[in-house]
Structure 1
Amino acid sequence: MVKLFATDLDGTLLKKENVIKEEDIKAIKQLTSNGIDFAIATGRLDRDILRICKEIDFTAHRISQNGTFVQTRDNASIYAKTFDIPNSKAIHEKLITYQNPLCVSTNDELYISEISEEMKALENFLYFPLVEGIDFLDQYGETIHASKYMMIGQEQDLVTIESELRDHFAGHIETYLSDPRCLDIVPKGVSKAAGLHALANHLNIETEEIAVIGDAYIDIPMFEMTPYSFAMSTAPAPVQQKAAHVVNDVYEAIDHISDLVKS
């Protein structure tokens, strides 16, 4: 039986311009009546998840930055993993050799190399402003504790960069194309699926008792951990093929799970 429902944000629960459908909000709030807990798993910072929870007036377990941090709905931190100082500096030095815009995330802030016109457009979809400037190589381990790096660019360029980074930092990083124009670099072992495993252990449930929904390649490991997986119909075909079900909206997945629980 399903005991936890976990949703991705961008392209899944969040539509264009950060819109959340009323049908989705209503379905999420009905989870409790069916004995199902709720979690959000996203590449965004925890502060963004908290803002969304406030917007929908419903608390959630929170897996942020693609699994780098895991916190319960009661704000208990049960998992956190950041880059150590040597890898932070080495990755930073490598990434600035490329011409692509670079973002560096910490637990509570998002820094960017330069706020160009393109980045200003991106900033419009964020709940908090970007901080310009990443000239803090000597501050790693002191005031800066990097949890995720993100490069912006064309998909084919990012695929090439991803391959180079995997070779260069083998055993130290995980890389994900969280979007055709975004390459995420996180510490080794970090993923949304790993975050859900940590949460499941904390809640004393099995991963097979989790239902998940997402729309990107980064969500596939979540799909593979449970028979209750849902891909958005807007997801790339290879992503849809990895899920047990394909739906148009989050509420459709919740309705399906609720029907299973009732039966």
Structure 2
Amino acid sequence: MYKLIVSDMDGTLLNSSGEISKENADAIKEAMKSGVEFAIVTGRPYVSAKSILKESGIKCSVIGCNGAQVADENGNIVKTHYINRDSLNAIIKRAEKANIYYHIYDDNYIYTKSRFDLLKVLKNYSKSAVSSQFSIRKIIRGIKRLYFTEVNVKRNLAAFAASKKGGFYKIQVSSTDKEALAKFKESIKGIPHVDITSSNYYNVEVGVEGVTKGTALKELADLKGIKREEIIAMGDNYNDMPMLVYAGCGVAMDNAVDEVKAACSFHTKSNDDHGAAYAIQKLIFDGEFHRE
């Protein structure tokens, strides 16, 4: 019997407009009413995830920044894993040298040099996520609404990162130039105390060594006394792999990358076709699939 459902946000629970559909929200609420717990596991920081959840009336635990941040259902941050400051500074130095876009995350903000540059990144995301149901303009509007309330502009971001008190959870580097991104990724491979992943073809996400969505899911499950075989995890991209492999039932969205589909025992509909709701219905209420 499954006791916990966890879901990624972008490309999984959220549609291409950056919204939780009514169908997905209703399915989650019904599962919670039946006694199944629900949690978000996302690359976004908690402050970004909570605003989306609030709009849908969902109150749950949130694992943010690819596992570096854990918040309980009341919004209390109960676990933090900050990236090594020397390692972060070294990564930023390489990004500056390569003249490639980056932003960094802490408890409250996404820090960027320019809102305009961030908007260009979000436009790139929308083009990769767009479906026939949603116009790019609507997607951009949704993403801007959800992100820009948590954005803090620092013109000299490298100096700010080096001097700021308090830690950072991760740095995201983005470019539509695949060759430049691959070259940058290669340049940071020797930097210690970090792990490198990706949530889309155009980005590289660098976080704390040994901290993933999978390790954070284990921490949350242990805290709740839930066994791994009692967990359903839903995702679509590379940074979801650790939690999908850890969970008793890994669910791949129809829009997931091939590696995710290969790792999961259950495949659902796309994020724009309410795939999360479909999986919850089949796995929780219809009982059509169980991994022993």
TM-score, normalization by structure 2: 0.82
The residue aligned with 1:8 is 8
For 1:82, what is the secondary structure of its paired residue? coil
Please say if residues 228 and 248 of structure 2, whose CA atoms lie closer than 8 Å, have aligned partners that are also in contact.
no
- Is the deviation greater in 29-38 or in 133-142? 133-142
For 1:15, what is the secondary structure of its paired residue? coil
Select the residue among 217, 232, 237 that pairs with 1:216. 237
Please say if residues 20 and 52 of structure 2, whose CA atoms lie closer than 8 Å, have aligned partners that are also in contact.
no
Letter in 2 for 1:113: K
Query: 1:94-120 CA deviation, whole Å, 9 max, x = no partner?
Result: 221112111111111111133336625
- 2:242 and 2:203 map into 1 onto residues whose CA distance is 18
Query: 1:118-163 CA deviation, whole Å, 9 max, x = no partner?
Result: 6257274141323222435365464352211011113443233223
Letter in 2 for 1:16: S
The residue aligned with 1:180 is 201
For 2:198, what is the secondary structure of its paired residue? strand
- 2:289 and 2:187 map into 1 onto residues whose CA distance is 49
The residue aligned with 2:175 is 153
- Is the deviation greater in 148-157 or in 25-34? 148-157
The residue aligned with 1:41 is 41
Select the residue among 224, 230, 252 that pairs with 2:251. 230
- 2:12 and 2:248 map into 1 onto residues whose CA distance is 19
- 1:213 and 1:159 map into 2 onto residues whose CA distance is 27
The residue aligned with 2:130 is none
CA RMSD of aligned residues (A): 2.3
- 1:78 and 1:201 map into 2 onto residues whose CA distance is 13
Q: Please list, as runs of the form range in 1=range in 2, the aligned pairs for 1:57-206 lying within 5 A after superposition.
A: 57-116=57-116, 119=119, 122=122, 124=141, 125-126=143-144, 127-129=146-148, 130-133=151-154, 134-137=156-159, 140=162, 142-143=164-165, 145-154=167-176, 155-166=178-189, 168-169=190-191, 171-206=192-227
Displacement of 1:7 after TM fit?
A: 0.6
Please say if residues 221 and 227 of structure 2, whose CA atoms lie closer than 8 Å, have aligned partners that are also in contact.
yes
- 2:223 and 2:98 map into 1 onto residues whose CA distance is 40
Please say if residues 3 and 209 of structure 1, whose CA atoms lie closer than 8 Å, have aligned partners that are also in contact.
yes
For 1:73, what is the secondary structure of its paired residue? coil
- The percentage of aligned residue pairs carrying the same residue is 23
TM-score, normalization by structure 1: 0.90
The residue aligned with 2:287 is 260
1:233 and 1:262, CA in 2 relative to 1: closer, same or farther beyond 3 A? Answer: closer
Please say if residues 114 and 153 of structure 2, whose CA atoms lie closer than 8 Å, have aligned partners that are also in contact.
yes
Please say if residues 101 and 114 of structure 1, whose CA atoms lie closer than 8 Å, have aligned partners that are also in contact.
no
Letter in 2 for 1:161: F
The residue aligned with 2:266 is 245
What runs of 5+ residues in structure 2 fail to find an aligned partner? 123-139, 270-274
- Is the deviation greater in 202-211 or in 128-137? 128-137
1:237 and 1:245, CA in 2 relative to 1: closer, same or farther beyond 3 A? Answer: same
Please say if residues 42 and 65 of structure 2, whose CA atoms lie closer than 8 Å, have aligned partners that are also in contact.
yes
Please say if residues 65 and 170 of structure 2, whose CA atoms lie closer than 8 Å, have aligned partners that are also in contact.
yes
